[in-house]
């Protein structure tokens, strides 16, 4: 995820909110373990040795026929590349109207507050397609806005009017839209009764342990039960009972106040709340976002929100039981005993990996409301020997006064129990064919350099083996006894991304990385129905120096048994490839393109002088075959 200017959200956060440099060695467990054992855990599951012997790429190709496509080269073009025999067509773009009473996107003005409320939101990220009777419903997160794009018609790319700010707000949230395929081309069904925008004004219920807690109460909602809006949803999840999970990530950037000396508590600092904010300016038109006026609104965001995509009148539910942090996605697993397990990353440098386990069990057609309300949160600790454990977060283990507090100050709870600081956990994906789970650790320039925002040390080691990690890696774990509720697990690294043309050793990457498939900053992860792991990147697209030969952001497919990784898709200039779902018949793969041209270079998808627009594309086979 990148911010309005030429820096990432994390960088922006760091500039305006510098982290302490002091360290607290007392917090660190097992720091004395020898680093010589570090690589023992890498690639022990797959039969491929990541370090030492070289895995021959040609041998890997010959070893499997699980890939139904030929690998493609990297690209720096301002367009999409897919393998021969495949095509990619645009389905829906930022600003496309969902109703026929709304105007088409205006490249000169980039829309208004009113037009944006009736149109597809900006910067699509996580998404899911649901079959509903004979209808195909797409629900997608509209994560954020790029200041210089949405306000690119204004001097310096800054808001000039209240309506500019409202346009930005209305570009956030969720879009639910019916889509249909006509003559092989997918598009929006305007005026469908299912079409819906969930903007930052839409009312929703607060559920779970934090409901009504004093930290959740505001002047407008003195009971702490009802909140307006969900925004900065990054990845997503989907439940077996047909609901969608939107995951709030960098919610902190929307809070600000005019007085730059306004005091900010330590609890707020841990989440990156500052008087300055990130330039969205929402506090200028709505007091909810002014921390000088409404102290607790920020405690009401940073959650997972459950939405029924089939009922446009339904009230979304913020599920506080899943904790408050910078959620990436929420990977839902039905355990063998019917309990619902949700794996979740907190995407910030040195933050943690989480698991939620429901108290109740899922039964098809049965009651589901309590399954994401009533359960236990855990944070992961990894050991150098390839094992790990889930540490319960409760008043007893953390010393916090209540479970509500654990669910509101989840980062602090996980720090207290000594969870392992990670290299920015992005999407988590569970293998549908085996009891194993994967998480993209995208990169972390602070690894081994400085502590996280809570002062927890970030030592080099375990699943975070490289100092100032530039390229990222994918960690995987297998729960003990193939039981996702087990305390213990075994872990290894599926891949260490790197650049074998520039580096030797660890920065060349693991042996399943070669000059033909290299990439950096894995982010989106999802398994298809065949058990292939799809990997999407949100990284450095400069194609030079450490990243020479890697081109634009891309999507690859990984065979988790052999370790082989093959490049399938390359996105347009300066875009991230994020969000992945399939049509019910699996003949279309929907892929998200986010922030094309974010630094001023690129005009995808329309080209010429057009404003670059985030969009969803449909990838199909020219022979009409299955795509996952
Ligand atoms: Fe919105 Fe962690 O990416
Ligand atoms: Ca992003
Ligand atoms: Ca990212
Ligand atoms: Ca992401």
**What is the C-alpha to C-alpha distance for residues 518 and 138, in angstroms, rounded to an integer?**
31
Q: How far is the CA of 480 from the centre of ligand 2 (A)?
A: 33
- Ligand 1 atom at minimal distance to the Cα of residue 326: 2
Q: How far is the CA of 93 from the centre of ligand 3 (A)?
A: 21
Residue 624's pLDDT band (cuts 50, 70, 90) = very high
Does the pLDDT of residue 46 top 90, yes or no?
no
**What is the C-alpha to C-alpha distance for residues 264 and 275, in angstroms, rounded to an integer?**
8
Residue 28's pLDDT band (cuts 50, 70, 90) = very low
- Looking at residue 87, its pLDDT comes to 98
- Ligand 1 atom at minimal distance to the Cα of residue 249: 1
| 1 CB near ligand 1 (under 6 Å) | yes
On whether the CB atoms of residues 113 and 167 are closer than 8 A, the answer is yes
Of residues 508, 622, 500, 495, the one with CA closest to residue 565: 495
Structure tokens at 459: 């030592």
| 328 CB near ligand 1 (under 6 Å) | yes
| 384 CB near ligand 1 (under 6 Å) | no
Does the pLDDT of residue 74 top 50, yes or no?
yes
- Looking at residue 48, its pLDDT comes to 40
What are the C-alpha distances in Å from 513 to residues 188, 379, 405, 517?
Answer: 38, 30, 43, 6
- Calculate what percentage of the chain has a pLDDT beyond 90: 89
Does the pLDDT of residue 39 top 60, yes or no?
no
Residue 53's pLDDT band (cuts 50, 70, 90) = very low
- Ligand 1 atom at minimal distance to the Cα of residue 250: 1
Mean pLDDT, residues 189-194 taken together: 98
Q: How far is the CA of 256 from the centre of ligand 2 (A)?
A: 22
- Ligand 1 atom at minimal distance to the Cα of residue 143: 1
Q: How far is the CA of 233 from the centre of ligand 2 (A)?
A: 9
- Ligand 1 atom at minimal distance to the Cα of residue 235: 1
| 426 CB near ligand 1 (under 6 Å) | yes
Does the pLDDT of residue 3 top 80, yes or no?
no
Place of tokens 């496509």: 69
Mean pLDDT, residues 138-149 taken together: 98
**What is the C-alpha to C-alpha distance for residues 462 and 556, in angstroms, rounded to an integer?**
25
**What is the C-alpha to C-alpha distance for residues 363 and 160, in angstroms, rounded to an integer?**
53
What's the per-residue H, E or C state across 305-329? EEECCCCCCCCCEEEHHHCCCCECC
What's the per-residue H, E or C state across 426-466? EEEEECCCCCCEEEEECCECCCCCCCCCCCCCCCCECCECC
The pLDDT tens digits for 263-292 are: 999 999 999 999 999 999 999 999 999 999
Does the pLDDT of residue 55 top 90, yes or no?
no
| 234 CB near ligand 1 (under 6 Å) | yes
Q: How far is the CA of 366 from the centre of ligand 2 (A)?
A: 35
The pLDDT tens digits for 557-616 are: 999 999 999 999 999 999 999 999 999 999 999 999 999 999 999 999 999 999 999 999
- Ligand 1 atom at minimal distance to the Cα of residue 125: 1
Residue 7's pLDDT band (cuts 50, 70, 90) = low
- Ligand 1 atom at minimal distance to the Cα of residue 347: 2
- Calculate what percentage of the chain has a pLDDT beyond 70: 90
| 13 CB near ligand 1 (under 6 Å) | no
Burial degree of 605 (CB within 10 A; 0-12, 13-18, 19+): buried
Question: Where is average pLDDT lowest: 66-70, 176-180, 418-422?
Answer: 66-70
- Looking at residue 14, its pLDDT comes to 64
Of residues 173, 149, 41, the one with CA closest to residue 494: 41
Residue 65's pLDDT band (cuts 50, 70, 90) = low
Closest ligand (CA of 539) = 3
| 177 CB near ligand 1 (under 6 Å) | no
Does the pLDDT of residue 551 top 80, yes or no?
yes
H helix and E strand count, the chain: 9, 28
**What is the C-alpha to C-alpha distance for residues 297 and 456, in angstroms, rounded to an integer?**
26
Q: How far is the CA of 481 from the centre of ligand 3 (A)?
A: 32
What does pLDDT average to over the chain?
92
* Phi, then psi, of 462 in degrees rounded to 5: 55, -135
**What is the C-alpha to C-alpha distance for residues 176 and 181, in angstroms, rounded to an integer?**
17
**What is the C-alpha to C-alpha distance for residues 199 and 166, in angstroms, rounded to an integer?**
10
Residue 505's pLDDT band (cuts 50, 70, 90) = very high
| 249 CB near ligand 1 (under 6 Å) | yes
- Output the pTM of the full model: 0.93
- Looking at residue 66, its pLDDT comes to 87
Does the pLDDT of residue 251 top 70, yes or no?
yes
**What is the C-alpha to C-alpha distance for residues 277 and 252, in angstroms, rounded to an integer?**
7
On whether the CB atoms of residues 504 and 454 are closer than 8 A, the answer is no
The pLDDT tens digits for 364-416 are: 999 999 999 999 999 999 999 999 999 999 999 999 999 999 999 999 999 99
Q: How far is the CA of 519 from the centre of ligand 3 (A)?
A: 13
| Closest Cα to atom 3 of ligand 1 | 1
- Looking at residue 10, its pLDDT comes to 65
The pLDDT tens digits for 105-128 are: 999 999 999 999 999 999 999 999
Q: How far is the CA of 185 from the centre of ligand 3 (A)?
A: 30
Report all structural domains of the chain as residue ranges with CATH numbers, in order of start.
4-463+472-479+488-621 (2.120.10.30)
Closest ligand (CA of 123) = 2
| 347 CB near ligand 1 (under 6 Å) | yes
- Looking at residue 111, its pLDDT comes to 98
Closest ligand (CA of 232) = 1
**Beta bridge partners of residue 551, listed in sequence order:** none
Closest ligand (CA of 347) = 1
């Amino acid at each position: 995820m990148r911010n309005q200017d030429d820096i990432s959200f994390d960088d922006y956060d760091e500039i305006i909110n510098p982290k302490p440099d002091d360290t607290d060695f007392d917090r660190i467990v097992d720091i004395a373990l020898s680093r010589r054992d570090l690589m023992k855990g890498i690639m022990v599951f797959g039969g491929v040795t990541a370090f030492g012997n070289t895995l021959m790429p040609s041998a890997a190709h010959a070893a499997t026929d699980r890939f139904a496509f030929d690998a493609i080269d990297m690209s720096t073009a301002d367009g999409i590349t897919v393998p021969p025999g495949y095509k990619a067509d645009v389905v829906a773009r930022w600003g496309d109207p969902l109703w026929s009473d709304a105007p088409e996107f205006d490249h000169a003005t980039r829309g208004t507050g009113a037009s944006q409320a009736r149109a597809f939101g900006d910067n699509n990220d996580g998404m899911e397609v649901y079959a509903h009777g004979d209808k195909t419903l797409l629900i997608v997160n509209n994560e954020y806005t790029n200041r210089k794009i949405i306000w690119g018609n204004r001097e310096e790319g800054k808001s000039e009017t209240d309506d500019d700010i409202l346009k930005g707000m209305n570009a956030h949230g969720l879009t639910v839209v019916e889509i249909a395929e006509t003559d092989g081309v997918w598009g929006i069904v305007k005026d469908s009764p299912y079409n819906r925008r969930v903007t930052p004004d839409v009312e929703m219920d607060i559920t779970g342990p934090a409901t009504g807690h004093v930290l959740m109460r505001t002047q407008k909602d003195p009971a702490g039960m009802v909140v307006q809006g969900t925004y900065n949803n990054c990845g997503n999840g989907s439940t077996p009972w047909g609901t969608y999970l939107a995951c709030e990530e960098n919610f902190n950037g929307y809070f600000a106040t005019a007085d730059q000396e306004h005091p900010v508590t330590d609890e707020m600092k841990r989440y990156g709340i500052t008087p300055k904010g990130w330039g969205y300016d929402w506090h200028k038109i709505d007091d909810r976002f002014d921390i000088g006026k409404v102290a607790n609104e920020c405690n009401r965001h940073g959650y997972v929100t459950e939405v029924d995509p089939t009922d446009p009148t339904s009230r979304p539910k913020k599920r506080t039981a899943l904790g408050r942090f910078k959620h990436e996605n929420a990977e839902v697993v039905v355990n063998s005993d019917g309990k619902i397990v949700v794996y979740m990353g907190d995407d910030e440098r040195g933050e943690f990996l989480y698991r939620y386990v429901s108290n109740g069990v899922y039964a098809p057609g049965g009651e589901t409301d309590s399954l994401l309300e009533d359960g236990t949160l855990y944070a992961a600790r990894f050991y150098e020997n390839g094992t790990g454990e889930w540490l319960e977060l409760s008043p007893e283990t953390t010393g916090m006064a209540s479970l509500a507090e654990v669910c509101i100050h989840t980062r602090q709870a996980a720090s207290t129990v000594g969870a392992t600081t990670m290299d920015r956990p992005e999407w988590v994906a569970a293998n549908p064919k085996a009891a194993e789970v994967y998480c993209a650790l995208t990169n972390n320039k602070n690894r081994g350099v400085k502590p996280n925002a809570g002062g927890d040390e970030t030592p080099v080691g375990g699943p975070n083996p490289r100092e100032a990690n530039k390229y990222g890696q994918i960690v995987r774990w297998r729960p003990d006894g193939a039981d996702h509720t087990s305390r213990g697990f075994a872990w290894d690294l599926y891949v260490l991304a790197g650049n074998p043309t520039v580096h030797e050793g660890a920065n060349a990457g693991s042996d399943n990385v070669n000059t033909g498939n290299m990439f950096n900053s894995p982010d989106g992860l999802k398994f298809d129905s065949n058990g292939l792991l799809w990997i999407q990147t949100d990284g450095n697209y400069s194609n030079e120096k450490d990243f020479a030969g890697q081109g634009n952001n891309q999507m690859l497919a990984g065979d988790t048994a052999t370790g082989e990784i093959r490049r399938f898709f390359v996105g347009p200039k300066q875009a991230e490839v994020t969000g992945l779902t399939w049509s019910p018949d699996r003949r279309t793969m929907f892929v998200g393109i986010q922030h094309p041209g974010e630094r001023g270079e690129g005009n995808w998808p329309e080209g010429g002088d057009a404003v670059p627009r985030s969009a969803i594309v449909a990838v199909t086979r020219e022979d009409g075959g299955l795509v996952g």
